[in-house]
Homo-oligomer: A and B are copies of this chain.
Amino acid sequence: MASREDFAMTDLFPQKGHDHSRCVDSALREAEKVCDAENARFTDMRRLVFSLIWKSHKAITAYELLDAIQAGGQRVQPPTVYRALEFLTQLGLIHRIESLNAYFGCDMPHHHHLGQYFICRQCGRVAEAVDEEMSNAVRKAARQVQFRIEATTIEIKGLCHDCATH
């Protein structure tokens, strides 16, 4: 992926003409690092699923992944895909979008974070934010009601700047 510094603050979503091969390369390198650090095996299947997820900045469903793999000639079954997805999710290399039943690649798997997801209904792209103000607001609200947070799902649907203006 392009590194975070390549974007202005308002460009959470990647530029239309960006060099996406850099996104993919960088994501793969990061994933390898994380797997190494966790002493986890980045097998061919996991790498394949991960690469397919990184084909775009959109979220992709398990069965779309399955179809893509089968289109590549491998006769793979749902459990195989779901296992790879579980593995990648556990390691934080990808995130699941609950409201879409779909997955997309994380920009910053090395750093443990509670993310918030902006999802454009027009172009389908997903952008992850790590906004401390949102996180803090959630933590504060939880504290007020004495709720012990274990996981949060923050998904924001609408139109990205590109789609809202063009």
Contact = CB atoms under 8 A, between A and B. Distances in A.
This chain's copy number in the assembly: 2
11 contacts: A9-B145, A10-B144, A10-B146, A98-B153, A118-B142, A134-B137, A138-B154, A145-B161, A148-B164, A149-B156, A152-B155
Q: Is the interface of A mostly helix, strand, loop or mixed?
A: mixed
Nearest to A149: B158
Interface string A123-150: 0000101010110111011101111111
B99 A118 contact: no
A87 B141 CA distance: 30
A157 interface: yes
Nearest to A146: B161
Interface of A: 9-13, 98-99, 116, 118, 120-121, 127, 129, 131, 133-134, 136-138, 140-142, 144-161, 164
Contacts of A140: 133
A150 B131 contact: no
Contacts of A121: 150
A159 B155 contact: no
B147 A158 contact: yes
A158 B151 contact: yes
Contacts of A145: 9-13, 118, 127, 129, 161
